[in-house]
Chains A and B, each alone.
Chain A
Amino acid sequence: MNEDVLKKVQSNPKFKELVHKKTSLGWQLSIVMLVIYYGFTLVLAFSPSTLGAPLAPGMTMTVGIPVGILIILSAFVLTGLYVRKANGEFDSSTARSSRRHKNEKMHWLSRSDSVVAFPGTGFCFRCYRR
Chain B
Amino acid sequence: MSLFPVLAFASGAIEGDVKQQATNWHAIIMFVVFVAFTMGITYWAARRTRSASDFYTAGGGISGFQNGLAIAGDYMSAASFLGISAMVFDKGYDGLIYSIGFLVGWPVILFLVAERLRNLGKYTFADVASYRLQQTPVRSFAATSTLMVVAMYLIAQMVGAGKLIQLLFGMSYSSAVIMVGILMVCYVLFGGMLATTWVQIIKAVLLLCGASFMAFMVLSTVGFSPEMMFEKAVAAHAKHAAIMSPGKADPVDSISLGMALMFGTAGLPHILMRFFTVSDAKEARKSVFYATGFIGYFYILTFIIGFGAIMLVLNQPGMMETVTKNGKEVHQLIGGSNMAAIHLANAVGGDMFLGFISAVAFATILAVVAGLALSGASAVSHDLYASVIMKGKANEADEIRVSKITTVVLGIIAIVLGLVFEKQNIAFMVGLAFSIAASANFPILFLSMFWKGLTTRGAVIGGFVGLASAILLIVLGPTVWVDIMKHPTALFPYKNPAIFSITLAFVSTWLFSVTDKSRSAEEEKAKFDAQFVRSMTGIGATGASKH
* A interface with B by C-beta (< 8 Å): 1, 6, 9-10, 15, 18-19, 22, 25-27, 29-30, 33-34, 36-38, 40-42, 44-46, 48-49, 51-53, 59-62, 64-65, 68-69, 71-73, 75-76, 78-80, 82-83, 86-87, 91, 111-112, 114-115, 118-119, 125
Given known pairs A9-B533, A19-B536, the reply for A33 and B286 (CB within 8 Å) is no
Question: Quick one: which of B103, B230, B539 contacts A75, CB cutoff 8 A?
Answer: B103
What's the Cα separation between A53 and B241 when bound, in Å?
11
Do residues B255 and A1 form an inter-chain contact, with CB atoms below 8 A? no
* Min distance, Cβ A9 to any Cβ of chain B, angstroms: 5
Interface bits B245-281 vs A (CB < 8 Å: 1, else 0):
1111111001100100010000000000000000111
What's the Cα separation between A48 and B101 when bound, in Å?
16
Count, A-B residue pairs, CB within 8 A:
172
Do residues B255 and A83 form an inter-chain contact, with CB atoms below 8 A? no
Do residues A64 and B245 form an inter-chain contact, with CB atoms below 8 A? yes
Interface residues of B in 524-547 (CB under 8 A from A): 529-530, 533-534, 536-541, 543-544, 546
Least CB separation from B292: chain A residue = A79
* Min distance, Cβ B167 to any Cβ of chain A, angstroms: 30
What's the Cα separation between A108 and B412 when bound, in Å?
50
Does B100 lie at the interface of the complex (its beta carbon under 8 Å from any beta carbon of A)? Answer: yes
With a cutoff of 8 Å between Cβ atoms, the chain B residues found around residue A118 in the complex are 533, 536-539
Determine the interface band of chain B, counting residues with CB < 8 A from chain A.
35 or more
Does B231 lie at the interface of the complex (its beta carbon under 8 Å from any beta carbon of A)? Answer: yes
Least CB separation from A25: chain B residue = B111
Do residues B110 and A83 form an inter-chain contact, with CB atoms below 8 A? yes
Question: Quick one: which of A22, A61, A72, A82 contacts B244, CB cutoff 8 A?
Answer: A61
Do residues B107 and A79 form an inter-chain contact, with CB atoms below 8 A? yes
* Min distance, Cβ A67 to any Cβ of chain B, angstroms: 9
Question: Quick one: which of A45, A65, A72 contacts B103, CB cutoff 8 A?
Answer: A72
With a cutoff of 8 Å between Cβ atoms, the chain A residues found around residue B96 in the complex are 64-65, 68
Do residues B245 and A48 form an inter-chain contact, with CB atoms below 8 A? yes
Do residues A79 and B110 form an inter-chain contact, with CB atoms below 8 A? yes
Do residues B530 and A6 form an inter-chain contact, with CB atoms below 8 A? yes
What's the Cα separation between A75 and B290 when bound, in Å?
11
Do residues B227 and A72 form an inter-chain contact, with CB atoms below 8 A? no
Given known pairs A1-B530, A83-B286, the reply for A48 and B536 (CB within 8 Å) is no
Interface residues of B in 106-160 (CB under 8 A from A): 106-108, 110-112, 115
What's the Cα separation between A30 and B450 when bound, in Å?
15
* Min distance, Cβ A106 to any Cβ of chain B, angstroms: 17
Supply 6 A–B pairs (Cβ within 8 Å), ascending by A: A22-B536, A37-B101, A41-B254, A65-B226, A72-B296, A115-B543
Do residues B100 and A71 form an inter-chain contact, with CB atoms below 8 A? yes
